[in-house]
Amino acid sequence: MQSLLQAKWVRYNHIATIFGIFTTILLSYFVWVREGCDPWLPFISDTDVNPQSGIPFTIGLSISGIMLTIAFIQIGKLRQNWLEKYDTGDRLIFWNKMSTLAGVTSGLATSWIAFTPWHEQMILHIFQASIIFTGAAIWVVIASFVSIKMSEIDESFSLILKNRIITAAISVSSFILMSIHFGLVVRGEGNLSNVESYLDSVVICTELASPILTRAAFFEWLMVFSLGAVLASFIPEIDLLVDEN
């Protein structure tokens, strides 16, 4: 475990995780478009419905999800060591553990969802997606809160705080807007008939049927890219955490 907490391995895993996630979703999207499917705009999971674009989706997310889980554990453990060294008290350590738990849950669900195409297991897939995005949003909020408190102890963290807060705000806002638009389709009553109709168009894929869900998909993509930016903001923090341990 200690070797995984060395700065170089934490950095390598963070970079590889970000590269893996973005490569997976972009490659899946490009194959989706190459197959003649509607380019504007599928949910990321829609690309798993197509037999060709589903290949990089399944392989990429199953691996990237594990790497993401490890990244959350690495950052959480390094932060815990730093917080304990500075004797910040149980409160911040507790919140750091909660953010790590939320992140790990999101990462594991990311690997899980790779094997459940949502036109085959719709209810389970929606449940998994809810875990992924809710867990990620919770991680972003709590991790940013802990970042602010850490910057009050050591001003070195202030240098990377601004970009993290901006991208975190974009990510959480996107999550809220995505949820609102999806809620408009199910009408807050768990009515999934409109979603089923949308999935029929996803299977055909040449023309996606729901403008509202297209907007929800836009906010999903925006959330994922901003989450990647938040995760990238931890790369310069690694040296601060390891040097202080």
**Angle ∠(130,44,37) on CA atoms, nearest 5:** 145
The band of 163, judged by pLDDT with boundaries at 50, 70 and 90, is very high
pLDDT in tens, 214-231: 999 999 999 999 999 999
Helices (H), the chain: 7-34, 54-85, 90-113, 122-153, 161-186, 193-204, 211-232, 235-244
Alpha carbons 26 and 193: distance in angstroms, whole number: 29
- Considering the chain, what is the average pLDDT of its residues? 93
Q: Which of 244, 227, 99, 110 is nearest to 166 (CA)?
A: 227
Give the least confident one: 90-99, 117-126, 187-196. 187-196
Q: What is the DSSP string of 146-160?
A: HHHHHHHH-GGGGGG
Rounded to the nearest 5 percent, the helix, strand and coil shares of the chain are 80, 0, 20
Per-residue pLDDT, 65 = 97
CA 28/CA 73 separation, integer angstroms: 27
Distance of CA 217 to the CA centre of its chain: 14
Instruction: Give CA–CA dist 72/18, Å, rounded.
Output: 12
Cα–Cα distance for residue pair 55/143, rounded to 1 Å: 33
pLDDT digits (tens, 9 = 90+) for 1-56: 667 789 899 999 999 999 999 999 999 999 999 999 999 999 999 999 999 999 99
What's the average model confidence in pLDDT over 123-142?
Answer: 96
